[in-house]
Amino acid sequence: MIQFVLLISRQGKVRLTKWYSPYTQKERSKVIRELSGVILTRGPKLCNFVEWRGLKVVYKRYASLYFCMCIDQDDNELEVLEIIHHFVEILDRYFGSVCELDLIFNFHKAYYVLDEILIAGELQESSKKTVARLIAAQDSLVETAKEQASSISNIIAQATK
Amino acid sequence: MNSFFSGTRLRDMIRAIRACKTAAEERAVVRKECAAIRTSINENDHDYRHRNLAKLMFIHMLGYPTHFGQMECLKLIASAGFPEKRIGYLGLMLLLDERQEVLMLVTNSLKQDLNHSNQYIVGLALCALGNICSAEMARDLAPEVERLLQFRDPNIRKKAALCSIRIIRKVPDLAENFINPAAALLKEKHHGVLITGIQLCTDLCKVSPEALEFLRKKHTEGLVRTLKDVVNSPYTPEYDIAGIADPFLHVRLLKLLRALGQGDADSSDAMNDILAQVATKTESNKNAGNAILYECVETIMSIEDNGGLRVLAINILGRFLSNRDNNIRYVALNMLMKAITVDAQAVQRHRATILECVKDSDASIRKRALELVYLLVNETNVKPLTKELIDYLEVSDQDFKGDLTAKICSIVEKFSPEKIWYIDQMLKVLAEAGNFVKDEVWHALIVVISNASDLHGYTVRALYKAFKTSSEQESLVRVAVWCIGEYGDMLMNNVGMLGIEDSVTVTDSDIVDVVEIAIKHHASDLTTKAMALIALLKLSSRFPSCSERIKDIIVHHKGSLVLELQQRSLEFNSIIDKHQNIRSTLVERMPILDEATFTTRRAGSLPAAVSTSGGASLNLPNGAVKPSTSLLVDLLDLSDDVPAAPSSSGGDFLQDLLGVDLSPAPTQSGTNQVQKAGTDVLLDLLSIGAHPVQSSSSTTDILSPIQNEKSPIATLDALLPSSSLSAQATSAKAAPMMDLLDGFSPSPSKPEDNGSVYPPLVAFESSSLRITFNLSKQPGNPQITIVLATFTNLTPNVFTDFIFQAAVPKFLQLHLDPASSNILPASGNGSITQNLRVTNNQHGKKSIVMRTRISYKINNKDTLEEAQINNFPRDL
């Protein structure tokens, strides 16, 4: 099971956190501080796994961002690397060659994408196409709702004139 | 609509925060935003709720408190529109976790949304439930989720499956409701549903043996077929990763098959072929393929034995191990650890490669490899492996040294073929990484050294040399100081030279130099300095010519701010000054420390034993230490880390173990042991008594010194009853030291006549032996009963090595004084007497019971008698 997902920039700034096991706010900041200390200082040629408090953290760097997933001792590290890559590819498709800034200004969208890939710390969907389709459908729901709202307010505005 | 609130847009806020140059600036911006959001919340502003929550999530991610926004999430979730609900659920998952009470308030909204007509809203609710639900919510909403497992849209089914996983992890009792709907998912074609369904089944197998049995019987074949289909499926762009169709599905199928095959020969048999196919056909040039191979190997290792498959698996691991990709090597090491239980021989073949991995530049790989090496060590390869590891210790990273040292020490202790090798290796480790060595490791080393009497000279010379080069390693210094104190004379005279040694010429002042360096070194801590003082005292007697110099060093510490050092230096100084005549007796070499007792104590499994023997002191290994001196040694050593100070009088041994004492001193480790010992303490207590001589001769207090350090007074106190007794019994030799005790002296432990008197009680009588108890009470202390036990021999033969042991339940405390003798003359022509003091913590509620064991020799033949004594008067 994936215990939590972290996206950390090379400067140690947190870009996304998702906790599937309960950690208090205090523990969360401690975990982030500890792990960014360990992961950001590791050299480029080393393996992508770090053992940490009886768990394992699988991380991979994409441009300036480190994608980290913390898993149980007996989970498949190599597969988790694939899950990270899966997530990155879907983000890439969704934002159109994603960069760190996309994730900063549209952080909520990154969360929506993640929620279509993982639930309860387990993989939900292996098809990128399906994920993309589901997100697009929900985004369009939001758009229609917005339009409706604005049109209704227009109507009201006009009616009250 | 609120006209006078015009907050910034989310985008603008993020920009403003990013523009901050310092943390203080950022805090100011966040504070301002939070204030605006609070105002908006207080005004119950609908239009900006959405935006406020988005901002709060960003602020939350930066690590600022955002609890005031939690209720906003609930309000958004409760509103009708999809956009509000979407952001509301996101906020709920980010800002709250399952332990917050607020979460309970959302249960109702969740329930409604799970039944919503819009499937995307159902999806949102499932996602939130799956990510943060608590046990109570799981119980409340399980029926809804169970129903959704059969929902028409596959995307809801897969979410419901993962949500069910969360539910059964939180409430395993609910598992049985999910077995059938979960099994139905295994037949799905939609990969998302299939993957999540398989995952749900795997989790069900973990929590419910019923589910495991059911799936094993009904679905093994179906799963094997599914895996076969996936492995052989033609190219599908939707699921393809590096030429493999859906590696995620592969991995999950293999995982579930593993759960089914474990411990079941039939289902293991059913999956053999497909596992062989996966193991041989999967491409291993990309990570995805390796992930599958890795999972496949684990499954092969876990299911029931099939020789051929295992060979295949081990070969794959061998290939992994020689891979240039660090990730692959890491997982290979990881898997070899599991393989070692299956086929140790095959893993041994890779020993050289694994050993290389210990020296890798990657900390993760090093750590894995070290643990693997640790498992690989056995009697035959311990020497070369240890040598490699110790050689590497010299060049390893500082932060790896701790782990490495611990493992080496553990290997050496576990497998050492002979003492000299053990001592050599430990000295190397101490010299190289003494600061990383744990206390119990060097304590153990000292016990071993003490037991290897033929190696004393060799060891002390080796330590002397090591000290010259590595005096910065604290634990090396301690061991060296201890050994020099004990065996310093051997150092000078080259006693017990082994063939392999070069002789060294060391003068007595060189030796004192070493100890002086240790005591004066700025990095030496209290323990080391205290040990050094003892060593100096001992040396002063061994090297009379250096006596004056040693005295100077000791006197130097008279003004120490640390009470412990000050006290030692004052006392030692007076010994050197005023008690020349007894000094040499005082500081005799330590009797050999008992290894067996040390090991049991170290393992923490020492049952509290009560054993005493009038003659125990005569049976001491070197027979040199008389009660009076040992007492003094005890005093001198009282807060010392040296596992030393065997006390030959049974009295203080008892005190140590059982905490039988007037003062409720918190120092006695034995008391805790008793409490842990469970119900049948009595049996436990006696089980160790089989070696009474051994244990009483080695009442070394290895564990308690640390505690003692905190309260030297308590220790002094603890020593008292026996000391007052032996002081009365022995000559004036001990008298000077008694001054120290005067202040604390309790009432003498001899029976007082003015207490209430009870008729004598025949506690035990057999054909050979009678025990009579004379009971009395001390006035004003109804809890305490003084028992004078009288042993009478009923046979015509003399009993020798007579030992009486007793044990009591937890509510009693027992103190045994030394017996009057250990020889019991024949035919009642004399008797042994022994004082017992029983403290009844439940006086008035429970009466005294006692279990006893008496061992003695008749014509050198061991005899053992046991009895439970429960005929004590009720009101004791």
CB–CB contact A138 B367 (8 Å): no
pLDDT the model gives residue B789: 87
Tens of pLDDT, residues B428-454 = 888 888 788 888 888 888 888 888 777
For the domain B750-869, what is the CATH code?
2.60.40.1230
Q: Over 90: is that where the pLDDT of A8 sits?
A: yes
Tens of pLDDT, residues B519-574 = 887 777 888 888 888 888 888 887 878 778 888 888 888 888 888 888 888 888 88
Supply the mean pLDDT for chain A.
90
| Alpha-carbon gap, residue B141 to B145, rounded angstroms | 7
More confident residue, B156 or B759: B156
| Alpha-carbon gap, residue B8 to A104, rounded angstroms | 17
CB–CB contact B127 A119 (8 Å): yes
Average pLDDT over residues B100-118: 87
Which among A16, A51, A124 has the least Cβ separation from residue B158?
Answer: A124
Using the 8-state DSSP alphabet, how is residue B401 labeled? H
Tens of pLDDT, residues B770-784 = 888 888 887 777 788
Give the residue numbers spanning the domain of A130.
Answer: 1-158
User: In which band, very low, low, confident or very high, does the pLDDT at B155 lie, cut at 50, 70 and 90?
Assistant: very high
Q: What is the CATH number of the domain that holds A14?
A: 3.30.450.60
User: In which band, very low, low, confident or very high, does the pLDDT at A158 lie, cut at 50, 70 and 90?
Assistant: low
Q: Over 50: is that where the pLDDT of B11 sits?
A: yes
Give a three-class secondary structure readout of B323-347.
Answer: CCCHHHHHHHHHHHHHHHHHCHHHH
Residue B774 contacts residue B760 (beta carbons within 8 Å): yes
Tokens for A43, please give them.
């050299």
Say how many CA atoms lie within 13 Å of A16 toward its Cβ.
29
Average pLDDT over residues B471-495: 81
When scoring B51, B86, B317 by the number of chain A Cβ atoms within 10 A, the one with the most, hence best to mutate, is B86
pLDDT the model gives residue B405: 85
User: In which band, very low, low, confident or very high, does the pLDDT at B617 lie, cut at 50, 70 and 90?
Assistant: very low
User: In which band, very low, low, confident or very high, does the pLDDT at B687 lie, cut at 50, 70 and 90?
Assistant: very low
pLDDT the model gives residue B815: 82
Question: What are the extents of the domains in chain B?
Answer: 210-304, 595-743, 750-869
Give a three-class secondary structure readout of chain A.
Answer: CEEEEEEEECCCCEEEEEECCCCCHHHHHHHHHHHHHHHHCCCCCCCCEEEECCEEEEEEEECCEEEEEEECCCCCHHHHHHHHHHHHHHHHHHHCCCCHHHHHHCHHHHHHHHHHHEECCEECCCCHHHHHHHHHHHHHHHHHHHHHHHHHHHHHHHHHC
Average pLDDT over residues B183-200: 91
pLDDT the model gives residue B650: 39
Strands B781-793 and B799-807 come out as unpaired
DSSP-based three-state secondary structure for B611: coil
pLDDT the model gives residue B681: 39
Q: Is any Cβ of chain B less than 8 angstroms from the Cβ of A53?
A: no
Count the domains in chain A. 1
More confident residue, B677 or B66: B66
H or E, element range at B222:
helix B209-232
| Alpha-carbon gap, residue B37 to B11, rounded angstroms | 15
pLDDT the model gives residue B604: 55
Supply the mean pLDDT for chain B.
76
Specify the length of chain A in residues: 161
Residue written as token pair 């179906």: B222
CB proximity list for B596: less than 8 A, separation 6 or greater = B691, B694
pLDDT the model gives residue B603: 64
User: In which band, very low, low, confident or very high, does the pLDDT at B602 lie, cut at 50, 70 and 90?
Assistant: low
| Residue environment code for B709-734, b if the CB has 16+ CB neighbours within 10 A, otherwise e | beeeebbbbbbbbbbbbbbeeeeebb
Q: Is any Cβ of chain B less than 8 angstroms from the Cβ of A20?
A: yes
- Report the predicted TM-score, pTM, of the whole model to 2 decimal places: 0.66
H or E, element range at B199:
helix B191-207
Can you spell out the DSSP letters for B153-167? Answer: SHHHHHHHHHHHHHH
Q: Which of A114-118, B1-5, B74-78 has the highest mean pLDDT?
A: A114-118
pLDDT the model gives residue A121: 93
Residue B114 contacts residue B145 (beta carbons within 8 Å): yes
The total of other beta-carbon atoms located within 10 Å of residue B755's CB is 18
Kindly report the nearest CA distance between residue A4 and chain B, in angstroms. Answer: 11
CB proximity list for A102: less than 8 A, separation 6 or greater = A91, A95, A110
More confident residue, B733 or A131: A131
| Alpha-carbon gap, residue B589 to B601, rounded angstroms | 23
The CA radius of gyration of chain A, in Å to the nearest whole number, is 19
Q: Sign of dihedral through CA atoms B724, B727, B732, B736?
A: negative
pLDDT the model gives residue B620: 36
Backbone angles phi, psi at B478, to 5 degrees: -65, -45
- Which residues on chain A are in Cβ contact (under 8 Å) with B327? 47-49, 77-78, 81
- Which residues on chain B are in Cβ contact (under 8 Å) with A83? 248
Q: Over 70: is that where the pLDDT of A70 sits?
A: yes
When scoring B364, B366, B400 by the number of chain A Cβ atoms within 10 A, the one with the most, hence best to mutate, is B364
Q: Is any Cβ of chain B less than 8 angstroms from the Cβ of A104?
A: yes
CB proximity list for B208: less than 8 A, separation 6 or greater = B172, B175, B176, B179
pLDDT the model gives residue B645: 38
Tens of pLDDT, residues B361-372 = 888 888 888 888
Residue written as token pair 């002094």: B716
- Which residues on chain A are in Cβ contact (under 8 Å) with B166? 119-120
- Count residue pairs from A and B with Cβ separation < 8 A: 166
Q: Over 90: is that where the pLDDT of B458 sits?
A: no
Average pLDDT over residues A30-58: 90
Kindly report the nearest CA distance between residue A95 and chain B, in angstroms. Answer: 17
